Amino acid sequence: MDGDLYDEFGNYIGPDLESDSEDEQSVYGQGDARDDEDAMDEDEDAEAEAEAAPMSVVLHEDKRYYPQAVEVYGPDVETVVQEEDTQALDKPLIEPLKQKNFQVQEQQLPETTYDMEYLADMLDNTNLIRNVTLMGHLHNGKTSFVDCLMRQTHPSTINNDTTIPMRYTDTLFVEQERGVSIKSMPVTLLLKDIKGKSHLLNIMDTPGHVNFSDEVTAALRISDGAVLFVDAAEGIMLNTERLLRHAVQERVPITICINKIDRLMLELKLPPADAYYKLRHIIDELNSLSATHQPQDNPEEPATVFSPLLGNVAFASSLYDVCFTVESFAAMYAAAHEGSGLRGVDMAQWLWGDVYFNAKTRRFTKKQPHASAQRSFVEFILEPLYKIFAQVVGDVDGSLPQVLEELGIKLTKQEARLNIRPLLRLVCSRFFGDFCGFVELVVRNIPSPLEAAPGKVAHCYRGTEGPLVDDMSSCDQAGRLVAHTTKMYPTDDCTFFLVLARVMSGTLYAGQPVRVLGENYSAQDEEDSRVMSVGRLWVNEARYKVCRLSHNVCRAPYTRGSRCACWGRTTARRTRRTRAS
């Protein structure tokens, strides 16, 4: 019988025998076909393995001793397989959630030279408000100029040990790292003019890079005027001409600020007479560009003429806290000679152009009294400025304290030991004082929101004539609410947006339902619109926001439906057409 169970080669060919070690020799995925199907529903070879003979040869790479991760955790769980010692010991396996911040924010309400309640009350006086855009070519000193205004109104931001710009309106971390403004940033400041009268300036600091020109457009749409910054050493650049043309097309008044005049002295080392020619050449070129780009649709409207005598040109050095006009400089002479009958307004008319001062007759004349006579702008403005810079930079004989005492500038012992650049900025800031000349330039040449409303509505509004246009043109607070939105700013964690808008008519309240109209909205097709509720109303100060009535910085997380401590009808004061954010 045994011979029938084996072939001639000795291989067993008899009936199947039961093995006691079958369970021990089986591996995962082999054995009973039913267990295979239950454990591996997604295995395409399950049927083939069930039909295979139990004694068939299984390769090593086909054996599966453990289930796959997708079978254990499911297809919705992400699994990562790493080699050992590839992850640092100080890095946790599961990192905790961190709240990412993308911009710089003040942690406390900074100290200001004015009371916040006074600033909020100024928002109700439209005649004392100016909405102005600062624009210019890249690195022409717009953001550092705003830093000077912040140091003037926020004493806590003053740092006498360095002249590195703090770039207060560059709130994004990427802006601070690159040193270039990317987003236009609004800031509301309370500043005084030459006569000491306070005005509320809603300033929009815009980027100078040509790739971010859309930010300038958004700022001009809600502004009543613009200040064009020009580098005194570089002159008219490519984007300077482009921005001038754009402002002319937007039909907003334009003023000029020739910045970085310190480069004429410290870098180019020009004599005062040559520096005057350099400044005069810049102004003449700007007048030529203004006449070239004047729109032809209204021939009766004359082109803007820039001249220091007209009060629409200022000179500044934002690095050393210097800003003046011919009128503000003349006011300094009038204050120094108080009681002599000298009037700054009269003297300012003789401080530009081919005008000379005759020391014998004590009069200004257009005829040169002698061959070496200097023009009045050089003699009364540039030469004193050159002497201050030269005295601080090249003080080799120790006569600086005596000169500063004659100028009425007092320095402490610690301030006198500062480095040259911080010391020069400190001396210039105390000699020229506040930027009252810049405020006077803005107030005189840029209309108030009430005066600029008819022209702004005629240029921006594309609807039909009717009561709505009349309400916007007259800034009727009791009329229908119309707000022109141009910008959206993210919160600290970039999870929500705040809207910057200009209230053209009506009154905006916190919690008020409004209809937001999209760009495709029309009276016939209202699909591109949505009814939403107004959140909080803010006064934007770049790195911090002040609630419209509470006069405090609200630190509560800004989420949908959240309410701060100053929420309510008592805090929902009327916001005129200055800004609602």
Backbone angles phi, psi at 111, to 5 degrees: -75, 135
pLDDT value at residue 419: 92
First to last CA, the chain: 102
Total-model pTM: 0.80
pLDDT value at residue 31: 46
Q: What's the rounded Cα separation, in Å, for the pair 156 and 77? A: 52
Please enumerate in sequence order all residues whose Cβ is within 8 A of that of 540, keeping only pairs 6 or more positions apart, or say none: 186, 187, 188, 489, 500, 579, 581
pLDDT value at residue 38: 56
pLDDT value at residue 98: 75
pLDDT value at residue 571: 33
Mean pLDDT in consecutive groups of 10 residues from the start of the chain, 581 residues? 73 74 46 51 51 66 83 88 77 78 86 90 90 97 96 93 92 93 96 94 96 95 97 95 95 96 96 97 96 82 93 96 96 90 91 94 92 94 95 83 90 91 95 95 96 92 88 90 92 84 91 91 88 90 78 39 38 35 33
Q: What's the rounded Cα separation, in Å, for the pair 279 and 264? A: 10
pLDDT value at residue 482: 94
**In the CATH hierarchy, which top-level class contains the domain 464-581?**
mainly beta
Q: What's the rounded Cα separation, in Å, for the pair 351 and 330? A: 8
Longest dimension (CA), the chain: 151
pLDDT value at residue 394: 86
How do residues 434-459 score in pLDDT, each as one tens digit?
999 999 999 999 999 999 999 999 99
How do residues 101-132 score in pLDDT, each as one tens digit?
788 888 888 999 999 889 988 988 889 999 99
Question: Could you tell me the fold of the domain covering 116-445?
Answer: Rossmann fold (3.40.50)
Q: What's the rounded Cα separation, in Å, for the pair 514 and 161? A: 49
In the chain, where are the structural domains located?
2-73, 116-445, 464-581
